[in-house]
Chain A
Amino acid sequence: MKRFTCSGCSLLCDDIIVQSDGLFISEVIGACLKGKERFDLVSAKNRIISPLIRKDGELKEASWDEAIKKAIEIIKNSSIPLLYGFSNVSCEAQDAGIKLAQKIDGFIDSNASICQGKIFNKAKSLGINLTTITEIINKGDLIILWGANPAETVPRLLNKVLFSRGKFRMTGREIKTLVIVDPIKTASFRVMGVRDLPLIIEPNKDIDLIRMLKEECCTANSIPSQGVAGIDKNDLKRLLLHLTGAENGVIILGQGVIQPHPDYDLVEELLELLQMINKRQEKGRISLLIMGGHFNMAGFDHVALSAYGVSGHLEFKHNQMVKTEDTLVSKIEKEDFDSSIIVGTDPISHLPHSLSSKIAKKPLILIDNHSTATSHIADVVLPTAITGIESGGLAYRLDQVPIELNKLLNPPNNLPSDEELLNQLHGLLNKGGSE
Chain B
Amino acid sequence: MELYKFLPKTNCKKCGKPTCMAFSLDLLQGKVKVDDCPPLLEPKYKKQYDALKELLGSEEGQQKELKINIDDKLCDGCGICVTVCPVNARYCPSSLSGKAPEYPPEEHQLFQVIGGKCELLKIEHCRRLDAEGRERECRVCETYCPREAVKIEYV
Inter-chain contacts of A36 with B (CB < 8 A): 77, 115-116
Residue A164 at the chain B interface, CB threshold 8 Å: yes
Chain B's closest residue to A154 (CB) is B78
Residue B112 at the chain A interface, CB threshold 8 Å: yes
Q: Which of A30, A35, A164, A191 contacts B146 (CB 8 A)?
A: A191
B113-A30 in contact (CB<8A)? yes
Cα-based distance from A344 to B114 in the complex (angstroms): 28
Number of interface residues of A (CB under 8 A): 37
Inter-chain contacts of A17 with B (CB < 8 A): 100, 102-103
Chief secondary structure at chain B's binding surface: loop
Residue B67 at the chain A interface, CB threshold 8 Å: no
A31-B96 in contact (CB<8A)? no
Of residues A19, A151, A159, A187, which shows the largest number of chain B Cβ atoms within 10 Å of its Cβ?
A159
Chain B's closest residue to A13 (CB) is B100
B103-A1 in contact (CB<8A)? yes
Inter-chain contacts of A35 with B (CB < 8 A): 77, 116
Shortest Cβ distance from A5 into chain B, in angstroms? 12
Inter-chain contacts of B103 with A (CB < 8 A): 1, 17, 19, 29-30
Inter-chain contacts of B94 with A (CB < 8 A): 15
Residue B144 at the chain A interface, CB threshold 8 Å: yes
Interface residues on B, range: 20 to 34
Residue B62 at the chain A interface, CB threshold 8 Å: no
Cα-based distance from A37 to B99 in the complex (angstroms): 19
From known contacts A35-B116, A173-B84, infer whether A137 and B98 are also in contact, taking CB-CB under 8 Å.
Answer: yes
Shortest Cβ distance from B94 into chain A, in angstroms? 7
Chain B's closest residue to A29 (CB) is B103
B65-96 interface bits toward A, Cβ cutoff 8 Å, 1 = contact, 0 = none: 00000000001111110111000010000101
Shortest Cβ distance from B93 into chain A, in angstroms? 10
- A275-293: which residues lie under 8 A (CB-CB) from chain B? none
Residue A190 at the chain B interface, CB threshold 8 Å: yes
Shortest Cβ distance from A190 into chain B, in angstroms? 5
B112-A187 in contact (CB<8A)? no
Shortest Cβ distance from A123 into chain B, in angstroms? 25
A32-B98 in contact (CB<8A)? no
Residue B108 at the chain A interface, CB threshold 8 Å: no
Cα-based distance from A1 to B146 in the complex (angstroms): 30
A28-B79 in contact (CB<8A)? no
- A146-195: which residues lie under 8 A (CB-CB) from chain B? 151-152, 155-156, 158-160, 163-167, 172-173, 187-188, 190-191, 193
Chain B's closest residue to A186 (CB) is B146
Cα-based distance from A193 to B102 in the complex (angstroms): 29
Rank and list the top 8 A-B pairs by shortest CB-CB distance, nearest first: A30-B100, A36-B116, A164-B98, A151-B146, A32-B77, A155-B78, A33-B116, A15-B99
Q: Would you mind naming 20 contact pairs between A and B with Cβ atoms under 8 Å apart?
A: A16-B100, A29-B112, A29-B114, A30-B79, A30-B99, A30-B100, A30-B103, A30-B113, A31-B77, A31-B100, A32-B116, A33-B117, A158-B78, A158-B146, A159-B80, A163-B80, A164-B98, A172-B84, A187-B147, A190-B145
